[in-house]
Every structure is written in structure tokens, then in C-alpha cells.
Structure 1
């Protein structure tokens, strides 16, 4: 059975955030790690993600939002495991992050008006990571503040990643 590991951004998502809703309503969706509060410390997040991934040989799809996408990139640079895909949602693109291709299928959702990442920067980062780009249009940071509680299009992307390559 495929595990779905929710990789949080730098803060705790609001209760109506799509990732929180998925954790509550979908069997097999677990936090990796439980949403911690700020500050974002990459080493701590990568170690926590590694602990959850290493706890089972079951295949995993990573579902990362915001800085959680950076956690995934740092993890992939340093570790291996039964990860079969990643949904990367509105990643920031700061300097000093891994830019090599991810060793698993990935889809990067990029917003046309994300306050944390210009569209062209998000597309360039997706290309570096070898991720398929999904242009989500003008959806802000695709979070609760941008009006996203439910996100059915995201659920379809996750289902696609969990299916055959």
C-alpha cells in the first residue's frame, strides 16, 4: 500500500488548509513530520522526514507545500528510500538549495501570483528538479489565505503520482 507523506512548510497550516483536510479525511495520509512551528530549520526537517520514510519499506508519495518542497530536495540530495513520487506545491526558490534532478517522479504546482516565488523562478526550479510543471494560474501561495481549503485538483495530481509511471 502506498503511503502519502505530507511535508509541511515553515509554519503550522491552518485547520482549513488543504493539507490538514487531507490528513483528516484520507486514509494513509500522515505528516512527515507533524507540522512544527517556525522557525524552519532544514536539517531538523530533513532528519524528521528521513525518520518517517525509513520507518517502512512501503512506497511513499511525498506531498510538500512551500518550504516543505525544499525539505524534499534536501532529503533527496542526502538520502534514498522507497519514494515513488512527489507533489511539490508552490515552492519558494531561494539561493543555496539543491538544484539537481530528483530521483523520483515529481509534479511542481506553480502559481502565477505567488508572493513567495515568481512564476518564472518556479518554472526554472521545476526544470532543475526534473519535475513536470502544472501552471495553477493566479492562486497566490495555494494556502488558506489564498482561499484554498479543499483542493480537488491537487487530489487528482496525487492520485496520478501514486499510479503506474
Structure 2
């Protein structure tokens, strides 16, 4: 099993859980974290290249706008070797259409009750549209380094469950 970390809009700060996980054996960025501005077509193409690089089963772990990258990629390319996706705090985006169709693999949306970029109702709407399970992480902001998430043991358990389930 391999794991692809799909970043949000910018480069995760030092200590960010996704940055730490992406440095582990069996993990890679897809795409490498960009600096603004984000061009979704380029991000989707980079994700496709990373997924297609091997037939080995893969779990996608997306944060923030990376969740939109995953949904856009899935609509264009289907499941391929993707077995599951962890979609952490997807944002509401005004400038980018977000696909609202079922994903062709098991997925879990992690929602925060006080995310400044998406309401709990918005996260629930994404989960319903994508056919995903929903995990309420509580009041954790955007679940990033700014809100205290370097290590995220609960997230590691969620990824492990997706990888084995």
C-alpha cells in the first residue's frame, strides 16, 4: 500500500501533520505543495501522474483544497488503484467549482465544528455528495499547524482504518 498526500493551497508549515506524514517511507506528495496561486488543472494532472506511476493500491490523504483536487481527479479519471481517501477539512471555494458527485472509492470527510473555511453543514453536504462517511473531529479549526496540529494521532488511526478496510 502506498499513500499520497494531497496538499491544500499552500506549503504546509513545519510541523503540520501532513508534512510529517509525507516524509515517511511509503508516502509521497501528489502534487508537491505549491505556493499560491493554485491552478487546479495542474494539480489534478500531477495527482493523475502520481496515481498512475504504480499499480500498487493507494490511499489518498487530502487536506483543505486538496480535497477538491481529489474530487476533481476522481470525476475525470475514476478509481484506478485508489482504494480510499481521507478528506480533511474541505473548504468552501467561491472561485473553483467543486464536483458534487459520488467518489468511486471509499472516503471519509473529516469535519471541524469551527473551521473558518467551511461550516459543519457544508462539510456534511460534501460528505453526502461524495458518498463519504463523515467524521466529526470537534472544534479543531482548519486542522492545521496554526490550530495546533503537528502530530495528529487520531488522523493516523483513521488512515490505518481506511488502508485496511
Please give the TM-score of this superposition, normalised by the length of structure 2.
0.96
SS in 2 for 1:91: coil
Tell me, yes or no, if structure 1 residue 17 matches structure 2 residue 16.
Answer: yes
How far residue 94 of structure 1 moved from its aligned partner, in angstroms, is 2.9
In the other structure, the counterpart of 1:4 is 3
SS in 1 for 2:43: helix
Q: Which runs of 4+ in 1 moved over 4 A?
A: none
Please give the TM-score of this superposition, normalised by the length of structure 1.
0.96
Residue pairs, 1:118-137, within 5 angstroms: 118-137=119-138
CA distance in 1, matches of 2:16, 2:125: 26
CA distance in 1, matches of 2:92, 2:34: 21
Residue pairs, 1:64-143, within 5 angstroms: 64-80=62-78, 81-94=80-93, 96-143=97-144
What are structure 2's unaligned runs of at least 5 residues?
none
The size of the alignment, in residue pairs, is 162
**Of residues 52, 57, 60 in structure 2, which corresponds to 1:59?**
57
How far residue 93 of structure 1 moved from its aligned partner, in angstroms, is 2.8
What are structure 1's unaligned runs of at least 5 residues?
none
Do 2:4 and 2:22's aligned partners in 1 also have CA atoms closer than 8 Å? no
In the other structure, the counterpart of 1:29 is 27
How far residue 97 of structure 1 moved from its aligned partner, in angstroms, is 1.1
CA distance in 2, matches of 1:84, 1:40: 26
SS in 2 for 1:107: strand
